[in-house]
Amino acid sequence: MTLQDTTTHPCSVRGVLLYEVKHVRDMVRGNLAVLEFDEVLPFRPRRCFITYKIPAGQTRGDHAHRQCAQFMVCVTGSCRLRVDDGRHWEEILLNRPTLGIYVPPQVWVSTQHGADSALMVFASHPYDPADYIRDRPEFQSLIGGPGTSRPRA
Amino acid sequence: MTLQDTTTHPCSVRGVLLYEVKHVRDMVRGNLAVLEFDEVLPFRPRRCFITYKIPAGQTRGDHAHRQCAQFMVCVTGSCRLRVDDGRHWEEILLNRPTLGIYVPPQVWVSTQHGADSALMVFASHPYDPADYIRDRPEFQSLIGGPGTSRPRA
């Protein structure tokens, strides 16, 4: 049996943090991944949603939030996320229940699900359609950056 | 596309509630299940854990909590839960991301995972080893009931 504590890793996109969450691996009893919200997350979730049975190649997300922060874990299968702060973007492959990603407000996210995957998303705020930014020029204007974003150098 | 709002269904075990959570089914974009904590849950979660890669036939849980309430969703595969208030027990099959179960404190739970399943559990309290009741006679004494529990009549 092995126990690993939470570790975090920054990314080139503003405020985005990758988490390897606390977990126990046990060949006999099975595995456990744990998120103590107050200890490890920058917010206490008000909402959770799960996206699943997403056709391969279908892009989900493709928006930013004005105020809502999110934390995402791909519970089964894998999901490719693109996170973009308007200056830099990175692609992250979420492929295990212990790998989480914190996405602060005002970061654009799009996701592509692999076959039979399920993505669990915690949100810092209740659902509010006015919090979504779906228009790319509006996003660029909000973050005060240039019109295009570059991948990590 | 179909949208279904949250519905709840009682069970014969004290305080246990089954939820069909709010969800959107969409053949083109894929599916979404949503839990607005403040609106639908009796508590706002302080902790989440995921049990996964559990060997078939392995029993997990097998305890009650003194104060901690839980809400469980089997995100992929299926899990068989036995919930028991010391007077009655029921077995519940969690087999889809839209089916949740609320388990109040002082209800004994054990789980058996199906192959490749992942069970997501929200807890009302941070982890506290003193909150666990793992001894069956202590549990029976706490709930003030007889020594054995019956299945639903």
Average of per-residue pLDDT values in chain B:
93
Token digits for A122? 């915690």
The mean pLDDT value for B41-67 works out to 93
Average of per-residue pLDDT values in chain A:
93
Of B44, B55, B122, Cβ closest to residue A30? B55
- Range with lowest mean pLDDT among A55-59, A149-153, B133-137: A149-153
Residue A141, φ and ψ in degrees, nearest 5: -65, -40
CB contact under 8 Å between B76 and A120, yes or no, is no
CA–CA separation, A49 vs B34, rounded Å? 4
Most B CBs within 10 A among A37, A74, A95, A124, hence the mutation to make, goes to A37
Nearest CA in chain B to A40: B47
DSSP per position, B9-25: EE-SSTT-EEEE-EEEE
Interface predicted TM-score (ipTM): 0.91
pLDDT tens-digit readout, A48-82: 999 999 998 889 999 999 999 999 999 999 999 99
- Range with lowest mean pLDDT among A18-27, A141-150, B136-145: A141-150
CB contact under 8 Å between A30 and B126, yes or no, is no
- Catalytic, out of A63, A88, A113, A125: A63
CB contact under 8 Å between A52 and B30, yes or no, is yes
This prediction's pTM: 0.94
Most B CBs within 10 A among A26, A40, A41, A76, hence the mutation to make, goes to A76
CA–CA separation, B99 vs B89, rounded Å? 19
Asked if residue B147 has pLDDT above 70, the reply is no
Q: Is B132 on the interface with A (CB under 8 A)?
A: no
Which residues does chain B have within 8 Å of residue A35's beta carbon, measured at their own beta carbons? 47-49
The mean pLDDT value for A131-149 works out to 86
Q: Is A54 on the interface with B (CB under 8 A)?
A: yes
Is residue B63 among the annotated active site residues? Answer: yes
pLDDT tens-digit readout, A28-47: 899 999 999 999 999 999 99
